[in-house]
Amino acid sequence: MGARTVPIVPAAPHGAKDGAFEYLTTRKDELVGWARKFSLFPYPFVTACCAMEFMAVSASPYDTDRFGAALPRFSPRQADLLMVVGTVTHKQAPVLLKVYEQMCEPKWVMAFGVCASSGGFYQNYAALPGIDRIIPVDVYIPGCPPRPEMVIDGIMQLQDKIARAQHPILTRTF
Amino acid sequence: MATDLLESLQQQIVPAAGAATLSHGCLVFSLAPEELMPTVRRLKEEFGYDLFLDVTAVDWPADALRFEVVHHFASSRQALRVRLKTRVAAADPGVDSLAKLYGSAAFMERECHDMYGIAFRGNHDLRPILLYEGFTGHPLRKDYPKGREQPLVPYRN
């Protein structure tokens, strides 16, 4: 009894072309960037009224699933996009910093709405005047709250940024 | 009913508590700090004011008695709310705590202590409740600078 039941296909003669998709050439950063920009796993750090807009833009009429940014992960260890949705207070800032530090590289941060971007109309003892005071931000979405089109535009700009970026996967340079 | 109660309250409490006025369906008393506890006890025990709504304060920076501590009470039996205003000086901004009469007062007094620095005598847990440990000053006082921030996380630049 032969143990092997898989048919053995003879290798194609060198140089033969049968129309199959045998190999392609690309730049490593373009390939990895292409993969990463369509597989964003957002962590929604949702604190305030922008949450309603976040739900609206996530739901079917606007549907961020089309951009691969659909499945919210509620553990920062599984997420690569930190969406800060709403006002962050000074009291809450250590929590935001800890969530950011718990995320694995590569990671990106989106400031969703004017409060997360700059503090908005809050200029007082309580509100953090923009999350970029404590963590780096990749894309800012203004508006109080932003229109869904603005959020989608923000996601697309972030995707462009990811596609253009260098993506070291083995060493610092490769 | 409301007018009967109003007359009764005015006759029985006003002589000790000074002038009372009716404002938007709320009976307003202005008290001295030492009158607060007896008045609240009578409101609760004799007039059925069993619900303590809120305590806050007003800062009048130009006045000698700078802070006005404002208590609100409602009753499940009377259709008339009561507001007590107690003036205290900035040097000793303290009134008696109502936490022994109304358990819910403990948290609300903590908030008022956060924001205005009113010391509630008898409330032994005046830790920050909305603010955080290490916050100095009282942000809803008029002399707290509008733009003063006390960040917990150092800024990046």
ipTM: 0.79
Q: B151: which chain A residues are within 8 Å (Cβ-Cβ)?
A: 90, 93, 128, 133
- pLDDT at position A131, please? 93
pLDDT at A1 (0 to 100): 46
Residue B123's φ and ψ, nearest 5 degrees, are: -95, 110
Maximum average pLDDT range among A65-74, A91-100, B79-88: A91-100
Cα A61 to Cα A64: distance, rounded to the nearest angstrom? 9
Instruction: Say if A98 is an interface residue toward chain B (CB within 8 Å).
Output: no
Provide the pLDDT for residue B104: 92
> Alpha-carbon distance B40 to A101, whole Å?
51
Residues of A in contact with B144 (CB under 8 A): 125
Contact criterion met (CB < 8 Å) for B139 and A124:
yes
Q: Once rounded to an integer, what is the mean pLDDT over residues A148-163?
A: 92
Share of chain B above pLDDT 90, in %: 50
Residue B12 scores a pLDDT above 90: no
Chain-chain contact of B151 with A128 (C-beta, under 8 angstroms): yes
B60, pLDDT greater than 70: yes
Residues A19 and A34: their CA atoms lie apart, in Å, by 25
Tokens describing residue B5: 């109660």
* A and B: number of Cβ contacts within 8 A: 40
Q: Render B40-101 in DSSP notation, one character per residue.
A: HHHHHHHH---EEEEEEEEE-TTSSS-EEEEEEEE-SS-S-EEEEEEEE-SSS-EEE--TTT
Neighbours of B58 (CB within 10 A): 15
| Shortest Cα distance, chain B CAs vs residue A110, angstroms | 17
Torsions phi, psi for A19 (to 5 deg): 90, -5
Tell me the mean pLDDT in the region B140-152. 90
- Residue A174: what pLDDT? 80
Choice among A84-88, B17-21, B52-56, B144-148 with the minimum mean pLDDT = B17-21
pTM: 0.82
Query: In a mutagenesis test of the B interface, which of A125, A128, A132 is the best target, namely the one with the most B β-carbons within 10 Å?
Result: A125
pLDDT in tens, B31-48: 888 888 988 998 888 888
* Orientation of helix B2-17 relative to helix B36-47, angle to 10°: 150
B132 touches chain A (CB under 8 A): yes
Which pLDDT score, from 0 to 100, does residue B10 have? 66
